[in-house]
Structure 1
Amino acid sequence: MRTLWIFPGQGGQRPGMLNDLPQDLKHKVKDLTGIELTDDEVTYKDSIQIQLSILALQLYNIRQLQEIDEQPDVVAGHSLGVFGAAVAAGVLSEEDAIKIVFLRSTKMKEAYPVGYGMGAIVGLTRKEVTTLVKQVNVPDVYVSNQNSELQTALSGSLEGINKVLDLARENGAQKALILKVPNPSHSPLMQSAADALQEAFAQVKLQRPNCTYLTNYNGHAVHTVDEVKKDMINNLIYPVYWDTMMSVASELGIDTAIEVMPGHAFTKLIHTKFPDLRNITMSEMGIDDTEFLLKKWRKIND
């Protein structure tokens, strides 16, 4: 059995998702950043709270999986999720991940505090979405993440994104909506944040990955510290090619995927693309049931 651990980014956060988070992780976040995780609707409008909360939740899930002697064969993080993926791969420590994500979220918020964000269009190809962006002729709107063949994200000014979304609806899109991401992530607008990460990572000790890591910026499988580091620093300025990442995972012989918290969006995407793949979504299943299923599937494979 070959397992893929999936780490979502922003968008799946919800009040109460940290109810079971261990106190030591909450204290660790506060000690390292000065931020107290409050886990409510108001604070989840703030990029710093969102990113630190999701990271903390994913660090907890990693601990849970490791406690039942699970290790990934492949890891894939979407945007913010690259830091959880790097921890799971043994590249980055919990402490450094928290400090880096705090810096990342702070710089993102400073760069574009209001009026910017992300949108998503379902039902049109990337080429069609690119044509619509050119038609509106508005500055600061970029074609961004490719989550599936017919699901493309936009980044930039909310004014411009809304104009593209209106055009998308007129041209037959199944869905066209603003995402719960308060920054123009995965666009050239995030260069200043990437520069800050470049400087910070010069002081971070990284370890060679103990499994395959799939990069955001081109979807490739990598096994070196430098490649993982490059992805963590620069993924804010490039689109996430998630569809390519999942195709590569399939080529690597993955037969089981575990999506850590929060949410289940990527389980749905991967099930649509690869319906025979076995899936576990930790937002919907406790660690005991997760352990039971993984052991059961291993016995079947053996």
Structure 2
Amino acid sequence: MSIAFTFPGQGSQSVGMGKALAEAFPEARRVFDEVDDALGEKLSQVMWEGPEDRLTLTANAQPGLMAVSMAALQALEAQGVSLKDKVAYVAGHSLGEYSALCAAGTFSLADTARLLRIRGNAMQEAVPAGEGAMAAILGLEQQAVEDACREAGGPCQVANDNGGGQLVISGAKAAVEEAARLCTDKGAKRALMLQVSAPFHSALMGPAADAMRDALAKVGKRAPIVPVVCNVSVNPVTDPDEIVKRLVEQVTGRVRWRETVEWFAANGVTTLYEIGSGKVLSGLAKRIAKDVSTANVSTPADVEAAAAALG
């Protein structure tokens, strides 16, 4: 039996996330205080009280989701669950990869919060508002989606392979709209334009990749205490230099989540714990690898249940 911890990405945020953890566990409260101090503002207040449109801003959602994940992890560790002793691998969806690396000790909590604030701002600013877009394509083979992106006549690519027949495309607005139309023509069950502020994980994010290369060069980093399965390469990594390379590639590259879950299943992982806000990754995992069980750790009750199971 082998355990992996996974960490959610953008879209899992909700007003109130993490508040119950902070109230139940002093270790969790300290995480939120440290993130607030690192950013020089009360992000925790936005997370717990809203307004929702402010929390949803990329520059807030990214460090906020990381903070909830680390608060849940610290609460677990306070109950005697050691990441190093109990967990074989960690991985995170997009920004969640930073949470995974923080959990595994590669980056400090304060540095991770600042990196995600830089990442959120850089991704937001890489493309002028209204010029980029993303769309979810449901129920169409990957090759057909890639063909549609190529035929669309502009910058457009598969940004997320989430599994369960769900692919997300990203790029220039006109090209994404045309690719979505072509996907419908090719037999997609649905092609849904997403309400996002920028074309994440596309070549148009090049300026954000440059910003992250610069930011990552300036922070301290250590080898993770457990291997991190990277989004863009789907292999376990422990070398800090390779980790940084993969994080830079990830800004413009594909989040290969379906392959990540399949890799876990093929390499002996029997249970995936989703650490942090929401249940998005657990839902995806159930559709990708039916023999792998899932559990969530986002509330005090979840912490108690996971501690009992992992104790």
Normalising by structure 1, report the TM-score: 0.89
Distance 1:192 1:65 in 2: 37
* Preserved contact between residue 7 and residue 85 of structure 1 (Cα < 8 Å): yes
1:142–1:127 distance in 2 versus 1, CA, 3 Å: same
* Preserved contact between residue 152 and residue 176 of structure 2 (Cα < 8 Å): no
**Structure 1, 91-100 or 194-203: larger mean CA deviation:** 194-203
Distance 2:16 2:175 in 1: 33
Describe how 1:148-297 pairs up with structure 2 within 5 A.
148=163, 150-283=165-298, 286-295=302-311
Structure 1 gap segments, 5+ residues each: 296-302
* Preserved contact between residue 45 and residue 182 of structure 1 (Cα < 8 Å): no
1:114 correspondence with 2:125: no
The alpha carbon displacement at 1:149 in A equals: 6.5
Partner of 2:8: 8
Distance 1:160 1:64 in 2: 45
Structure ranking higher in helix proportion: 2
Deviations 1:51-78 (A, max 9, x none): 1211111111221222232312100111
* Preserved contact between residue 35 and residue 113 of structure 2 (Cα < 8 Å): yes
* Preserved contact between residue 144 and residue 186 of structure 2 (Cα < 8 Å): no
Distance 2:39 2:236 in 1: 32
Distance 2:57 2:288 in 1: 33
Alignment coverage as a number of residue pairs: 294
1:125–1:221 distance in 2 versus 1, CA, 3 Å: same
The alpha carbon displacement at 1:283 in A equals: 4.0
AA matched with 1:135: E
The alpha carbon displacement at 1:255 in A equals: 0.9
Partner of 1:102: 117
Q: Equivalent residue of 1:6, what SS?
A: strand
The alpha carbon displacement at 1:273 in A equals: 2.4
Partner of 2:141: 125
Partner of 2:42: 36
1:113–1:292 distance in 2 versus 1, CA, 3 Å: farther
1:70 correspondence with 2:82: yes
Normalising by structure 2, report the TM-score: 0.87
* Preserved contact between residue 218 and residue 244 of structure 1 (Cα < 8 Å): no
Q: How well do the aligned residues superpose, as a CA RMSD in angstroms?
A: 2.1
Deviations 1:105-153 (A, max 9, x none): 111122125223422112111111122223332x232222212263211
Distance 1:63 1:127 in 2: 42
AA matched with 1:20: A
